[in-house]
Amino acid sequence: MKLSKTTKLVIVFLSLFVILVVAYYTLEIVARNYVSSSYDETVSLTGARLSDEFYSSVSRAATWKSVSGYSSQFDFEIYNTGKSNLSNWVVKIELPSDATLENYWGAEAVFDAERECVVLRPTYYNNVIYSGENIAFGIIVNSKEVFTPTEIGIKGYKISSELTDIGKKVIMILLMVCFIVFVGLLVTRVNVRNYKERQRNDVKIILQSMNTFINFIDAKDPYTRGHSRRVAMYAAEIAKRMGLSEDEIQNIYYAGLLHDAGKISVPDAVLNKPGKLTDEERKLIQNHTVAGGKMLLQLSSLRGVRETALYHHERYDGTGYPDGLKGDIIPLYARIVGVADSYDAMSSNRVYRRHLNKDEIIEEIQKGSGTQFDPSIVKYMVDMINDGYVNVVKMETAEADENHERFHLTEDDIPGVYMGFQQ
Ligand SMILES: [Fe+2]
């Protein structure tokens, strides 16, 4: 089962959240059971404070005479002012030897074995007094004499809350960071998806418009049917092999599609003339570059498209047309499309000749390296012929079949060339 990137993102962050929450509660449990030291102190109930960490107050709520002596009710309160929590703790209160316990609350109370004291095990908060908290409990004692407790003993284990607090804070910060990053990534992903969707539509509209326009050129010049689409494909592949960016590859593809746009201005009779051309006719055909440049003047948003139409017949040695530009002065797209254009011309049948074979084409292209073509681009075109990316024999078969659509290229023919179509 293939998961989408968004699903993977949700799974990764959900797992992170679960891990952090488990860590939080594990830390809590570990810290509660982590005993840093034991505690055994006696706290005065007469005003003098014996412990730095705990103090207690007691109030006599009532005393009344009964048949067996005097019953007294005492309410206790213990305050934890230290930095540690006290766990598994008990309170001991010494009682007269004849005393009996009539009632108690807030704690379970039992006499110790020798009846020297009553041991109270408070039932609050899982038997923990947290740092900064206080608890209350009480007893009713009966004795022959009226008595007043003067001290209580507090015994238990100290557990460090500092470790837990720092750990919890770190986990809470991590949880918050995770949440913010998660929401941020999710929003970015949704935006990117919407952007890609729009971009895909844009590319589709551009390609459909261009294809419509190219059909007009093809209709004028049936012998070069599919030429613009093939040149666009070859030029894009060269650009890809040269390591250009996806943006550039995309633009070079557009430039390849429209490089012969100016042919629409050349009279049909001249364009399809089987015999030798007069100087006047040759000039008319050569003028398709200038005408194309003018037609595409408004298409400035597609970078390099106009320059390619204008300069794709310039030669590397400066003897081309229309301006006789030389070397790297010729725009890169035009140099790339120039090589792709020549390859397609040599590998297609023309009104005046059949196509050349693979070896002849390679020889011709290499002969033109440095004179007609940029040598750094020739290398890639020759590689494409040698590794079978372009195939003269296949193309010949396709062209022989009138209804064959193999070389009627659409945007689906070059997967990966269009950045708008990549995930
Ligand atoms: Fe051309």
Shared-domain flag, residues 349 and 397: yes
The answer as to whether 210 is a domain residue is: no
Report how far ligand 1's centroid is from the alpha carbon of 289 (Å): 7
Shared-domain flag, residues 80 and 124: yes
The answer as to whether 195 is a domain residue is: no
Report how far ligand 1's centroid is from the alpha carbon of 338 (Å): 8
The answer as to whether 372 is a domain residue is: yes
Shared-domain flag, residues 254 and 383: yes
Report how far ligand 1's centroid is from the alpha carbon of 416 (Å): 26
The answer as to whether 197 is a domain residue is: no
pLDDT of residue 189: 86
Q: What is the CA radius of gyration of the chain?
A: 46
CB atoms within 10 A of CB 218: 20
Shared-domain flag, residues 174 and 124: no
Shared-domain flag, residues 19 and 91: no
Shared-domain flag, residues 96 and 65: yes
pLDDT of residue 33: 65
For 102-163, the DSSP string reads: EEEESEEEEE-TTSSEEEEEE-GGGGEE-TT-EEEEEEEEEESS-----EEEEEEEEEEHHH
Shared-domain flag, residues 177 and 108: no
The answer as to whether 290 is a domain residue is: yes
Whether the CB-CB separation of 231 and 340 falls below 8 Å is answered with yes
Shared-domain flag, residues 342 and 396: yes
pLDDT of residue 82: 80
Shared-domain flag, residues 346 and 231: yes
CB atoms within 10 A of CB 62: 9
Whether the CB-CB separation of 340 and 328 falls below 8 Å is answered with no
Tokens of 188: 């970015």
Report how far ligand 1's centroid is from the alpha carbon of 262 (Å): 8
Sign of the dihedral through C-alpha 241, 247, 253, 255: negative
Shared-domain flag, residues 241 and 376: yes
CA distance 302 to 76: 86
Report how far ligand 1's centroid is from the alpha carbon of 402 (Å): 24
For 230-291, the DSSP string reads: HHHHHHHHHHHHTT--HHHHHHHHHHHHHTTGGGGGS-HHHHT--SPPPHHHHHHHHTHHHH
CA-nearest of 305, 232, 228, 234 to 263 is: 228
pLDDT of residue 352: 59
pLDDT of residue 117: 81
CA-nearest of 387, 381, 355 to 367 is: 381
Report how far ligand 1's centroid is from the alpha carbon of 323 (Å): 14
Report how far ligand 1's centroid is from the alpha carbon of 288 (Å): 7
CA distance 76 to 152: 10
pLDDT of residue 235: 94
Shared-domain flag, residues 288 and 308: yes
The answer as to whether 313 is a domain residue is: yes
Report how far ligand 1's centroid is from the alpha carbon of 258 (Å): 10
The answer as to whether 213 is a domain residue is: no
Tokens of 218: 């093809």
pLDDT of residue 119: 84
- The CATH number of residue 266's host domain is 1.10.3210.10
Helix (H, G, I), strand (E, B) or coil at 390: coil
Shared-domain flag, residues 154 and 170: no
Whether the CB-CB separation of 141 and 135 falls below 8 Å is answered with no
Q: Which domain holds residue 173?
A: 5-33+165-188
Whether the CB-CB separation of 320 and 329 falls below 8 Å is answered with no
| Count, residues in the chain | 423
Q: How many domains does the chain have?
A: 3
pLDDT of residue 414: 44
pLDDT digit string (tens) for the chain, length 423 residues = 677 777 888 888 889 889 888 888 887 777 666 666 777 777 777 765 656 677 777 888 888 998 888 999 999 888 888 877 887 788 888 888 888 888 888 888 888 777 778 888 877 666 788 888 888 889 898 889 888 888 888 888 777 666 677 888 888 898 899 899 888 988 888 888 888 888 888 888 888 888 888 888 777 776 677 788 889 989 999 999 999 998 899 899 999 989 999 988 888 888 877 778 889 999 999 999 999 999 998 888 888 999 999 999 999 999 999 999 999 999 999 999 999 999 988 887 665 566 778 888 999 999 999 999 999 999 999 999 998 887 755 555 445 444 444 344 444 444 344 433 333
The answer as to whether 357 is a domain residue is: yes
Report how far ligand 1's centroid is from the alpha carbon of 355 (Å): 17
- The CATH number of residue 135's host domain is 2.60.40.290
CB atoms within 10 A of CB 310: 24
Report how far ligand 1's centroid is from the alpha carbon of 305 (Å): 13
